[in-house]
Amino acid sequence: MSGRSVVLLAIQRALQEEPNSLPKETHTGYDRKPQPDLTGTDDILRRFSERLTMVGGETHVLSGDEAVNCILRELIVEFKDQIVLLPADPELERLGIPRLMNEVAVNRIQPESSSLSLAAEAAMGITTAQAGIADTGTIVLIHSSERGRLSALLAPVHVALLKKEMIFPDKITFLAKAQQAGLDYSATSQTWVTGPSLTADIEKVLVRGAHGPRRVIVLIYSTDQG
Amino acid sequence: METTTQTLKANIRSALNNDRLQAAVLKATNHSLAKRAEVVAELPNWEAMRSEAALRRDRTLTRLDDTLLELEKNATAKGIQVHWVADGEEANQIIGQICREAVSGSETTSTKGEVVKPLIAKSKSMTTEEIGLTPFLESLGFEVVETDLGEYIVQIAGQAPSHITAPALHLSRQDVGRIFVEKLGVEYREDPVELINIARGILRQKFLSAQVGITGCNFAVAETGTPLIVENEGNGRLVSAIPRVQIAVMGIEKVVATLDDLMLLLELLPRSATGQRITGSVIFFNRPSSSRESDGPRELHLVILDNGRTKALADPKLRAVLRCIRCGACLNACPIYRTTGGHAYGWTYPGPIGAVLAPVFLGLEKAKDLPFASTLCGRCSEICPVKIDLHHMLLHLRQEIVAACPQPILEKVMWQTWETVMDHPALNQALAAIPRFLLHEVLRSHWSPKLPLWGRDRSSPNLAKESFAQMFKREFGEHK
């Protein structure tokens, strides 16, 4: 008999022996009242920033592509002559970030087409984030061939670009509206990232920057395209 | 880890003689409890959330077979390879086989001609500890590296994790400093930041050359076919990003029916475990990477393990233990755990949850002392985010153990005598006269100070002339 049938049979036997241990009273007092939809509003944006800052992340709120370029230039200049990871993400292309990087003379690398050991030397990684969750200051990274995992992971500094209208108040709203917003939730692997990587494994002393980034900078922008 | 549940008393004695251990455990558990209290206080409906989570977990358990089949169907449809295993031995065999296939044909000699063992990187998983996966894979010739920093520290020290969510909680910074000197040959230092930098540097190289990644699975969502993990260090992200083969190992109870259930549990787990609103990362393994993706696992395996869990499922008094989401809050709250630390329990899962799981997983005989290592104070049940009635389960297990396992003759005779006496009021009253007489005539007499130890420092109470039974009889007549 295969492991599958053995396990299933054991479960079914156990359930027959003790079919229903549910309490009769099923009202737990837990209800989620429908919340007004505040997705993308300034209130939600403030909450997102506040929560992300609390866990050691940084945010900048920007209006228009030009502002994104400006602040990125400032950030990238610090990494002149160093390796910066940039995936082949069309949105990054649209914002003109590859060109900007050439101007600033950082060593731009696409982790998708370079060696792992070289990518691991990077000082910074720039990616887009597909959504934000305000309640926890979380960014949602949905992985695809154009948006690999490594650009947000290998370098000590991760800069994530997040569209303002994609910040949802909480996890539940995100799930309810992800599909509608064009994010295919269940078909792609994804990572929810909240602030820099951290550990408290030695005497519960909080150390930010464990195996992942030490700094997470989220640039929240509204696009010129409306 | 080597199971030493049968030497519980000796384990406890050694923990009680270790001041450093006790200080470290107390400091860490206090810290976790304080952080938890802060983020729990933010949610006015915390209690309702606990009840709801308990109910939803129970609902899933009552149709566990269907829920797991739904998980399998949806995961398989996306290319995840699902393996069902009855016990740890089977799990190890299957995982070993996947690892062998993953590394076959790859280079195994270094430039100097030395044989290089194929490398497996693991992120934290108590389930793989439970089945002894690491020693098994090592016996097959793999190098297996634990990448969670706490887990890495205990691995190089040759120890087992002492806490479900904080494996190195029993070690002070000085302990870690000494372990690094001895095992890694580095200079002694005790600053946590420096120590973590050393470990990070070593582990980064391991991540880059790992051929297989093994993770646990905090939950697996049936309706979408999605296993997922929560973690903080980024090691889970690396383990599921770099190796082209990934294996996630879950107990059958880790399945949740819907994303909505998951969202509720994601509120409860990090708050209870580490006092966070959410962990640094939540990683959803929705499917293997496509050929166009340059990272992530091309092959994604999900191992679904029973290993004794169905025994709890069949027991009406114990089924609810399978609600457990392994947050470790009951450990932090338990006065026994806080005094002895986790190793004293002698098994993978310490604390109240471990004392319930051990007799179920290992059998009553093997873990017969563990349910007695509790004060039954109930703090574990009060703090549990999914309302497992742990202390009543411990009491229930004590009854089972007394019925099933041979007890010392003297103890048996004592309890039987007690039972007989309590069953017969006349006998009870007659016998009660004896200690009354002794108390009056011996302890309170001039003999008292001469009694060794007891009498020297104590005065005995001044008893009333009449017993309660005598007074009752005088006031109300014979009891009918």
The pLDDT tens digits of the residues spanning A186-226 come to: 667 899 999 999 999 999 999 999 999 999 999 999 976 54
Q: Which residue of A has its CA nearest to B224?
A: A186
pLDDT over threshold 50, residue A51: yes
Q: Which one of B57, B72, B310, B311 makes the best mutation probe of the A interface by having the most chain A beta carbons within 10 Å?
A: B310
The H or E element spanning position B270 is: helix B259-274
Distance of CA B148 to the CA centre of its chain: 17
Q: Does A52 touch chain B (CB under 8 A)?
A: no
Look at B84 and A6 and tell me if their CB atoms are within 8 Å.
yes
A 189-208 residues with CB < 8 A to B: 189-205, 207
pLDDT over threshold 90, residue A20: no
The first and second tokens of residue A51, run together, are: 């929560």
pLDDT of res. B19: 94
Look at A212 and B233 and tell me if their CB atoms are within 8 Å.
yes
Q: Which residue of B has its CA nearest to A17?
A: B314
Cross-chain CB nearest to B226 (options A111, A186, A203):
A186
Cross-chain CB nearest to B241 (options A2, A150, A175):
A150
Instruction: Enumerate the residues of chain A whose CB falls inside 8 A of the CB of residue B90.
Output: 3
Q: Which residue of A has its CA nearest to B309?
A: A11
Look at B310 and A7 and tell me if their CB atoms are within 8 Å.
yes
How far apart CA B1 and CA B342 sit, in angstroms, is: 12
Q: Does A34 touch chain B (CB under 8 A)?
A: no
Cross-chain CB nearest to A202 (options B173, B294, B295):
B173
Q: Does B200 touch chain A (CB under 8 A)?
A: yes
Instruction: Tell me the C-alpha to C-alpha distance, in Å, between residue B380 and each of A62, B329, B374.
Output: 48, 8, 10
pLDDT of res. B36: 98
Look at A210 and B167 and tell me if their CB atoms are within 8 Å.
no
The first and second tokens of residue B405, run together, are: 């396992």
**Which residue ranges form the domains of chain A, and what is each CATH number?**
37-222 (3.40.50.10420)
List the pLDDT tens digit at each of the 480 positions of chain B: 677 777 899 999 999 999 999 999 999 999 999 999 999 999 999 999 999 999 999 999 999 999 999 999 999 999 999 999 999 999 999 999 999 999 987 766 666 777 889 999 999 999 999 999 999 999 999 999 999 999 999 999 999 999 999 999 999 999 999 999 999 999 999 999 999 999 999 999 999 999 999 999 999 999 999 999 999 999 999 999 999 999 999 999 999 999 999 999 999 999 999 999 999 999 999 999 999 999 999 999 999 999 999 999 999 999 999 999 999 999 999 999 999 999 999 999 999 999 999 999 999 999 999 999 999 999 999 999 999 999 999 999 999 999 888 888 898 899 899 999 999 988 988 888 888 777 777 666 666 666 666 566 666 667 777 888 888 888 998 765
Look at A26 and B55 and tell me if their CB atoms are within 8 Å.
yes
User: What average pLDDT score do residues A80-94 get?
Assistant: 93
pLDDT of res. A226: 45
Look at A120 and B204 and tell me if their CB atoms are within 8 Å.
yes
The first and second tokens of residue A117, run together, are: 């050991």
Q: Does A149 touch chain B (CB under 8 A)?
A: yes
If DSSP codes are grouped into helix, strand and coil, which group holds residue A11? helix
The H or E element spanning position B84 is: strand B81-85
pLDDT of res. B153: 97
Contacts of B327 (CB under 8 A, 6+ apart): B164, B165, B268, B269, B272, B273, B385
Say if strands B255-256 and A215-222 run parallel, antiparallel, or are unpaired.
Answer: unpaired
pLDDT of res. B446: 61
- Chain B closest CA to A72's CA: distance in Å? 24
Instruction: Enumerate the residues of chain A whose CB falls inside 8 A of the CB of residue B200.
Output: 210-211
Look at B200 and A210 and tell me if their CB atoms are within 8 Å.
yes
What's the DSSP call for residue A110?
Answer: -
Cross-chain CB nearest to B84 (options A7, A30, A149):
A7
Cβ–Cβ under 8 Å, residues A109 and A126: no
What's the DSSP call for residue B454?
Answer: H
Q: Does A186 touch chain B (CB under 8 A)?
A: yes
Q: Which one of A2, A25, A30, A205 makes the best mutation probe of the B interface by having the most chain B beta carbons within 10 Å?
A: A30
pLDDT of res. B157: 97
Instruction: Enumerate the residues of chain B whose CB falls inside 8 A of the CB of residue A204.
Output: 27-28, 31-32, 166, 169
**Which residue ranges form the domains of chain B, and what is each CATH number?**
1-42+328-406 (no CATH), 45-307 (3.40.50.10420), 410-476 (no CATH)
How far apart CA B369 and CA B407 sit, in angstroms, is: 11
Look at A201 and B28 and tell me if their CB atoms are within 8 Å.
no
Query: Strand ranges (DSSP E) for B204-292?
Result: 212-215, 219-221, 226-231, 245-251, 255-256, 281-284
Instruction: Tell me the C-alpha to C-alpha distance, in Å, between residue B408 and each of B400, B404, B415, B421.
Output: 16, 13, 11, 20
DSSP string, B17-66: T-HHHHHHHHHHHHHHHHHHHHHHHT-TTHHHHHHHHHHHHHHHHHTHHH
How far apart CA A109 and CA B447 sit, in angstroms, is: 92
The H or E element spanning position B383 is: helix B379-383
